[in-house]
Structure 1
Amino acid sequence: MTILVTGGAGFIGSNFVLDWLAESHETVVNLDKLTYAGNLQNLATVADNPEHIFVRGDIGDEELITRLLQEHQPRAVLNFAAESHVDRSIHGPGEFIQTNIVGTFHLLESVRTYWGALGADAKAAFRFLHVSTDEVYGSLAKTDPAFAETHRYEPNSPYSASKAASDHLVRAYHHTYGLPVLTTNCSNNYGPYQFPEKLIPLLIVNAQAGKPLPVYGDGQQIRDWLYVKDHCSAIRRVLEAGVLGETYNVGGWNEKPNLDIVHTVCALLDELKPRADGKPYEEQITFVTDRPGHDRRYAIDARKIEQQLGWRPAETFETGIRKTVQWYLDNPHWVDKLLSGGYRIAAPRDKAAA
């Protein structure tokens, strides 16, 4: 048996691939475009694993996708591929439209053709799982109830709008063509292998380099924080037992203001790797101008996946954040190679994607 994972060299995708191969003997065909956020260093431990087949390519390349589907006959396609950084979407939305909307459309078209030609048993067993975000729901006031799966879509950035559009396409392909789809909408992920443009790894890297720790506005933007390996276990559970056509919100039950996150990371660094001058890392906190359209609060109501599929996160924020800070401290070479750009050297490219 085989699964096809798209975006499997990125942060969440690579964690999923590593966990999948650690817990299963099912082959993973891993397709990634290797943009700046795609990093083969993340997959170094499975580079020689015959059950991991890496292909460099774009989900928008229907010829390549069609060939991979025909060659490997996967029982499921899991779509992690996305441009995902809000700040980048504000400064350059075009790539987000192309990858998250147009790319998802081409992927769905290829998968629909493949699925339609399968035999009855394989067709019934096939799944297309689309990984999305809570940002499609917009922003909450402090006292609003958390996002449930029935909350209407109100995206506020080019990134979240592009992901909302991809969610709608996936839904439409189920209702129009019968494609057996599942969608997950997750809260803020953190953990190993996250590119340091996102808050937590940026804090860890900047703190050690003696650089400012930037905090947008007043730092009171609230997010629900989900340890990435918990997210991966939720995706496996949805793939295994999710009801076709349904959406499952995945959260960590950890709503915290950004400023609290900053202070927590600083305190852990004070404990695990104190500054040479003995001063606290909090001295490096710098408040900066808030970004345009910054959503004030996200919160996930994850009762549906718990009640229907029996999933809950294994990590508390306290255990997950300690593991995360320790991982970055234990892996300075990963960080150094990423910051130098060396991780992008000599990345293989699939002939059909050239």
Structure 2
Amino acid sequence: MTILVTGGAGFIGSNFVLDWLRSSDEPVVNLDALTYAGNLENLASLKDDARHVFVQGDICDRALVDQLLATHRPRAIVHFAAESHVDRSIHGPGAFMRTNVEGTFTLLEAARAYWGTLEGETRDGFRFHHVSTDEVYGSLQPQDPPFSETNPYEPNSPYSASKAASDHLVRAWHHTYGLPVVTTNCSNNYGPYHFPEKLIPLMIVNALAGKPLPVYGDGQQIRDWLYVTDHCSGIRAVLAGGRVGETYNIGGWNEKANIDIVRTVCALLDELRPDAAGPYSRLITYVKDRPGHDRRYAIDARKIERELGWRPAETFETGIRKTVQWYLSNEDWVARVQSGAYRDWVSKQYGAGQTN
């Protein structure tokens, strides 16, 4: 028994692979293109572990995907591979269409052909697990109930539009061809190995360097925050017991405004790594809001709890403390991922003053 994981060197994917092999001896074949956010250092602890087979490659490469499926005969594909940063999608949407739409199409077609060769219990037990985002549902008003699995899709960025398209492809391949799929839509993840372009790691890294902490607009954009290992346990639950063709929302039950997240990070750093120059909150800098910035996301995760008994193990308070402590203990990892390309990106997005 083996599973094929795509994007398993990225933030969520690498946490999933590590979590999977901590709790199971079932091998993982890990396909990742190692773009800027894919990092084999995340998987350094598996370097000599025979249960982990890493393959560098593109999910759009049909011949490679076919070869991996024929060679390793996985019982499931868990599909994380995606371009996932909204800001990058605004500047360069083409890469998002290729990876998130064309890549998912390629995987679905390869999975359909492979599944067609299976028989009996092996065929019945096969799953294509598509990992998606709450951003496909659009934006909520303050008084709106959280997103449920029946919310209409209203994506507002090139990133969320590309993920919505991939979700629709997965649904169509199930309804048209019978491919046994499950889809999960998660809220904002945070935790170890998070590339420092996203809000929480960017705040930690910039604060420690004494750089401005850029906050979009008024900072009142609200997100539901999910600790990454809770997301991993939710995926395991859906893969094991989710109903074929169904969607499950995975959320943290933690709605927080961006500015409150930043202040919480500052307060934890004041406690754990005090700065002689004063409180880290002095570095908070409001910058021009990004185009089409969604105001609020929130996930209703009652379906996965009702059907599969899953709830997050971490509160935001426990998860954010673990996250800050991890970055303080892994500053060498941070330094190595902050390549010249990363510094150029931050300068372009937030202004040259943010990276001096």
Q: TM-score range by the shorter chain?
A: over 0.9
Q: Offset at 1:342?
A: 11
CA distance in 2, matches of 1:320, 1:291: 27
Task: Show CA shifts across 1:73-112 (max 9, x none).
Answer: 0000000000000000000000000000011001100010
Task: Show CA shifts across 1:39-85 (max 9, x none).
Answer: 00000000110000000001111100000000000000000000000
Task: Show CA shifts across 1:160-197 (max 9, x none).
Answer: 00000000000000000000000000000000000000
CA distance in 2, matches of 1:317, 1:135: 20
Give the match for residue 352 of structure 1. none
Match for 2:121: what amino acid? D
Instruction: Please tell me whether residue 130 in structure 1 is matched to residue 130 in structure 2.
Output: yes
CA distance in 1, matches of 2:247, 2:15: 22
Give the match for residue 246 of structure 2. 246
Instruction: Please tell me whether residue 323 in structure 1 is matched to residue 356 in structure 2.
Output: no
Match for 2:292: what amino acid? G
Written as runs of structure 1 = structure 2, the 5 A alignment for 1:295-306 is 295-306=294-305
Give the match for residue 280 of structure 1. 279
CA distance in 2, matches of 1:118, 1:286: 56
Give the match for residue 156 of structure 1. 156
Match for 1:128: what amino acid? F
CA distance in 2, matches of 1:53, 1:286: 44
Give the match for residue 333 of structure 2. 334
In structure 1, list runs of 5 or more residues that go unmatched.
344-354
CA distance in 2, matches of 1:332, 1:202: 13
CA distance in 2, matches of 1:339, 1:154: 34
Task: Show CA shifts across 1:124-147 (max 9, x none).
Answer: 010000000000000000000100
CA distance in 1, matches of 2:183, 2:291: 28
Give the match for residue 90 of structure 2. 90
Give the match for residue 307 of structure 2. 308
CA distance in 2, matches of 1:341, 1:308: 46
Match for 2:243: what amino acid? V
Task: Show CA shifts across 1:296-337 (max 9, x none).
Answer: 000000000000100000000000000000000000110011
Q: Offset at 1:276?
A: 2.8
Give the match for residue 268 of structure 2. 268
CA distance in 1, matches of 2:197, 2:43: 20
CA distance in 2, matches of 1:248, 1:342: 36
Match for 2:155: what amino acid? P
User: TM-score, structure 2 length as denominator?
Assistant: 0.95
User: TM-score, structure 1 length as denominator?
Assistant: 0.96
CA distance in 2, matches of 1:44, 1:239: 26
State how many pairs are aligned: 342
Q: Offset at 1:120?
A: 1.9
CA distance in 2, matches of 1:6, 1:341: 26
CA distance in 1, matches of 2:35, 2:340: 12
Q: Offset at 1:340?
A: 3.4
SS in 2 for 1:164: helix
Task: Show CA shifts across 1:279-311 (max 9, x none).
Answer: 000000000000000000000000000001000
Written as runs of structure 1 = structure 2, the 5 A alignment for 1:64-83 is 64-83=64-83
CA distance in 2, matches of 1:245, 1:58: 26
Task: Show CA shifts across 1:227-249 (max 9, x none).
Answer: 00000000000000000000000
Give the match for residue 346 of structure 2. none
Match for 1:292: what amino acid? P
Match for 2:288: what amino acid? T
Instruction: Please tell me whether residue 147 in structure 1 is matched to residue 147 in structure 2.
Output: yes
Q: Decide whether aligned partners of structure 1 residues 186 and 212 sit closer, same or farther in structure 2, where only a CA change above 3 A counts.
A: same
